[in-house]
Structure 1
Amino acid sequence: MSPIAPLLTAALLAAVVAALLPDATRHRTPGSLAVWPGVAAAALATLGLAGALADRSDVAGATLALLIVALTVVVQVYASRHLRGDPRSRSFFALSSLAALGSTTAIAADDVVLLAVGWTLATLSTIALIATGGSGPQTRVAVQRSAVALFIGDAALWTAVVVATASTGSISLAALGSLDGVAATLVGALVAVAAVARAGSFPLHGWLPATAATTTPVSALLHAGFVNAGALLLLRFSPVPSAVGPWIAGIAGAVTLLIATLAMLTRADVKGRLVHSTAAQMGFLLLACALGAYGLAFVHVVGHALFKASLFLGAGSAVEHALRARALPRSTPSRAGRVVGALLVVGTAAIALIGSDAFAHPTAVLLLFALTTAAVAGARIGASSARVPTRAALLLTLSIAVVGYVAVVFPGAEALVPVSGTTALPWGVAVAVFVIAVASLLLIRSTGPVSDRIFALALAWGRPPLPAPTPSWAPASAGGPLEYRRV
């Protein structure tokens, strides 16, 4: 455990206490005093990351700790304005600090028991945070689903801790590599279930879409930090010699990646699209971990957390931006520009691949997803109505980013998170997922019975089944999930 960890814990505990203190002035949002100890915690987490980089020890854990604490502070600063006048504001500040404390405790833990304690503390705090969204039926559905799915994951983790401790006679994470036989298989499977539940992936995916009903600050914390912890759990238990765990995490991630991506296209609401986008990204993260690409997964975690937090915090102005865009004259997309933009990005990526050793990387198959996304982005830039110099500058920036990702980030990511002896899925699984994803996206944009079935599946993803018809003598609000009742 890092020497910074006790100080970080003390700072976050101070933030919880500060949120509960009575305010000396009425001009401040109740509970917002938690921001100042949070800033101190962020400074300590920065020192911890600097020390980890200097010692080349647990860079992933130190990075994730800083990410969680810093994003918590940013969201709390946003909430000090967003929740002004909200009677639940004090609960938000206290619970968000408590959730950060649980997450950082799990990150800094050297033994499986302390890791599980921090993990469960974060779970309980997050469920309580979701409940601060109000007393409406949608919030009640979100709390119920979250409690069921996350408690299943926590129960699986605690069972894995008991099995590992009983089998090795030690609670140390370093002893996990000595597991073998049935104990190793069971621990690997249970940890995979816990990671799948936290990531909101299939078959425990129903809780994450339901959380769109909660407040914007809670959504930002959920999607920027909480759901990403599954990658850390898989990394901590990666020494366990189990082939079952990667298969569970990989298949769950692949199914979620495929269907959540399609579900995102069926949602008309801003937060709904962002929620399904997060689910798809978490599916990719689980798939990357199952393939053994832990370094790449953590680079993905950092980028996703920063990007998704900014999107959720800016969701309130989405309608204003849409109305402003609708008032502008529409122009026909340039087909030639679309082709040129895509070819430019693909060509740049090909040149970068030729000059690098990315193909020698054992998880190079994941470049299929990244480069296809970059090519689509290039096509959209090329087809846009912006002026030619603007499009050229954007395409140049995108091409430079692609070169940097292929030549620097991709091969260098694994050096930051060294993992040895990890059991991983064969690369053919990722190829199959990529082919199915491309085919599904093409089919859903066409017409016909197959497209209709895919659309119906995506539209229903994460929703409860339709209620049975209400008898004529029963009240209109009787029966069925709350999501479908009249209120």
Structure 2
Amino acid sequence: MTSPMPTSLTPAFVLAAPLLLLLVGLIPAAWANARPRTMARLSGTVAWLAFVSAILAAIALPFDTAHAWRFFSIQLPGNIGAFSLSTYVNSVTVIMLLLVSFVGVVVTRYARNYLAGDADQGRFHKWLALTLTAILTLIVSGNLLMFALAWMATSLSLHQLLVFYGNRPAAVFAAHKKFIASRIGDLSLLVAVFLIGFSLHTLEFDEVFHALAAMHGPVPTALNVAAMLIAVSAALKSAQFPFHGWLIQVMEAPTPVSALLHAGIVNAGAFLVIRMSPVMSHSELALGTLAIIGLVTLALASLVMLTQTSIKVSLAWSTTAQMGFMLLECGLGLYSLAMLHLVAHSLYKAHAFLASGSGVDAFRAPAIPYAANEFRIGRLLGALVIGGAMTLAVGTAFGITVTGEPALLAAGTIVAIAVTQLLLQSAGAISGGALLLRGLGLSAVVAVAYFTLHALFELLLKGSVLPVQQAPGTFEYALALAVIGVFLALLVLQQLLKHNPAALGEGLYMHLYNGLYIDVYISRLLDRVWPSPRLQPEAEPTPFAPVNSHGG
């Protein structure tokens, strides 16, 4: 396939995105706060330029293979390779570059109005630009050590946004918990990088990919350990069980930060696994561990989400569940589905958070009346059979078979359950058969759209990820059955919580509302090991503070 533009332009467009935002991030905070309107306009303009650069990079890239460019290199001791300033561009790079730069444009524009009049508005835009710079640098990095350093910079710059309101105890404590989890994840990734360099004697992504694609049979122990450490780092970045509590509690940060976190940064765990697929695909243990962690997380978060009364907290639990689902897909070796999920979730969640303030309007809007508030097992089974048959028919039409592929069997079952949920909503309406037929049509559209997008992303990621190397064995089939069983159980429990919460008992409902208290124990443990920084005394109200003359 011939590139419509000279290939030499690709690295220029790719690097322009983070470099433009870096220029804004380097502006001193005092200057930025003194000129908030100028800083807001400058930040928005640069965010748009970064997005345009990402579009031009996508146009300039020939999608036939990956491309790497090195600009500066320093050989490291121990024959582990070199640290280089380089860029590695393939379809994964371009997709993520377009996604993050677009979300950056939306969040930056929203923050301009959201923080208008705030004394620290300029400082906020400075750290927002630096955070976006770190994420984009992570995406385009062509060297594993450069990648790890950008990974660290992402969480460190985000920390400044999470504690933007430093006088809020809940915000400081949640950011501290995330800080600890991030440092453990950073250390895990850094050790994994050096183990990869020790085994393959290179730290360049393109060379690692080619070396591992040509490797057959058992891999060195160091690479298996590296794969496990990558799984740990991804799970911590994506707020997985049992260290998921910080993601729920960072709602004290400004809403644009929540949107950026949930729509971009927390997805970095899945991006890490996809980018490191050459290493991960050789380790059955690491992928299996990742799948189990993701499955446990999504099961817990999916149920807890339904008991929440706060819109933003419910969205946070939804993100936790979606991250678990995403890492489950990675653990099953379904990298193209995970990438599709990542893109869809980022766009949806950015919109959901930025529109959360008007969420109450949904409760005032006219609603379609539903039938009696009761759980019917017959209706559930009927919808499940129809949804399963519809999914099987559409999947077969797209040439997808599950013979010898337990991961695809599990994925197909999940799609069937999703279609079942749509059919149950239509069947529960009083309006009659017309709405049910509309529900059947919508379900067919959803199934067709899902398999169409799956095929598209499978084509886009071909050659950019390394498929799982081992043939499926007993563990893979057992894991697929476990996934199917968990999703079927979640379908039943979610219907019970929706139609008859009392059926689960008031005690269980309350326990779910509190997240089964898992985060309470984690918080106590972390506070003993690494206590949270305390607020300055003057930031906390005291009973002896005099009342001013205006009654304030």
TM-score after normalising by structure 1: 0.85
Deviation digits for residues 147-173 of structure 1 (CA, Å, limit 9, x no counterpart) = 011111111111111222233322212
Q: Distance in 1 between matches of 2:446 and 2:204?
A: 40
Q: 2:185 aligns with which of 146, 153, 157?
A: 153
Q: Distance in 2 between matches of 1:25 and 1:113?
A: 37
SS in 1 for 2:37: coil
Asked whether the 8 Å contact 1:333–1:384 carries over to 2, the reply is: no
The residue that corresponds to 2:418 in the other structure is 373
The one-letter code of the counterpart of 2:275 is: R
Q: 1:164 aligns with which of 196, 209, 213?
A: 196
**1:352 corresponds to 2:402:** no
Give the drift of 1:26: 7.3
The one-letter code of the counterpart of 1:432 is: A
Q: 2:149 aligns with which of 106, 117, 121?
A: 117
**1:66 corresponds to 2:118:** no
The residue that corresponds to 1:104 in the other structure is 136
Q: Distance in 1 between matches of 2:289 and 2:309?
A: 32
Q: 1:433 aligns with which of 472, 479, 483?
A: 483
The one-letter code of the counterpart of 1:13 is: L
Give the drift of 1:19: 8.7
RMSD: 3.5
**1:204 corresponds to 2:243:** yes
State which drifts further: 378-387 or 159-168: 378-387
The one-letter code of the counterpart of 1:139 is: A
State which drifts further: 175-184 or 270-279: 175-184
SS in 1 for 2:160: helix
**1:37 corresponds to 2:76:** no
Q: Which has the larger radius of gyration?
A: 2
Cα pair distance change 1:313/1:385, threshold 3 Å:
farther
How many pairs are equivalent? Answer: 471
The residue that corresponds to 1:463 in the other structure is 519
Q: Distance in 2 between matches of 1:23 and 1:191?
A: 38
Q: Distance in 2 between matches of 1:289 and 1:313?
A: 28
The residue that corresponds to 2:80 in the other structure is none
The residue that corresponds to 1:409 in the other structure is 453
Give the drift of 1:8: 1.9
Deviation digits for residues 268-301 of structure 1 (CA, Å, limit 9, x no counterpart) = 1101110111111111111111111111100111
Asked whether the 8 Å contact 2:423–2:436 carries over to 1, the reply is: no
Cα pair distance change 1:29/1:136, threshold 3 Å:
farther
Deviation digits for residues 364-406 of structure 1 (CA, Å, limit 9, x no counterpart) = 2212112211220232134346687677556534422312322
State which drifts further: 359-368 or 454-463: 454-463
Asked whether the 8 Å contact 2:245–2:519 carries over to 1, the reply is: yes
The one-letter code of the counterpart of 1:155 is: L
Please, which runs of 5 or more residues in structure 2 have no aligned partner?
A: 1-9, 67-89, 525-530, 535-539, 542-552
The one-letter code of the counterpart of 1:359 is: T
Please, which runs of 5 or more residues in structure 1 have no aligned partner?
A: 469-478
Q: Distance in 2 between matches of 1:390 and 1:108?
A: 47
State which drifts further: 431-440 or 457-466: 457-466
The one-letter code of the counterpart of 2:274 is: L
Question: For residues 286-297 of structure 1, what are the structure 2 equivalents within 5 Å?
Answer: 286-297=327-338
**1:315 corresponds to 2:371:** no
Give the drift of 1:438: 2.6
Q: Distance in 2 between matches of 1:143 and 1:89?
A: 20
Question: For residues 186-335 of structure 1, what are the structure 2 equivalents within 5 Å?
Answer: 186-240=225-279, 241-322=282-363, 324-325=364-365, 332=371
Q: 2:468 aligns with which of 416, 422, 426?
A: 422
Deviation digits for residues 115-140 of structure 1 (CA, Å, limit 9, x no counterpart) = 11111111111111111144212101
Asked whether the 8 Å contact 2:15–2:140 carries over to 1, the reply is: no
Asked whether the 8 Å contact 1:223–1:309 carries over to 2, the reply is: yes
Asked whether the 8 Å contact 2:384–2:417 carries over to 1, the reply is: no
TM-score after normalising by structure 2: 0.76
SS in 2 for 1:358: coil
Asked whether the 8 Å contact 1:160–1:190 carries over to 2, the reply is: yes
The residue that corresponds to 2:37 in the other structure is 28
Percent identity for Structure 1 against Structure 2: 27
Asked whether the 8 Å contact 2:25–2:126 carries over to 1, the reply is: yes
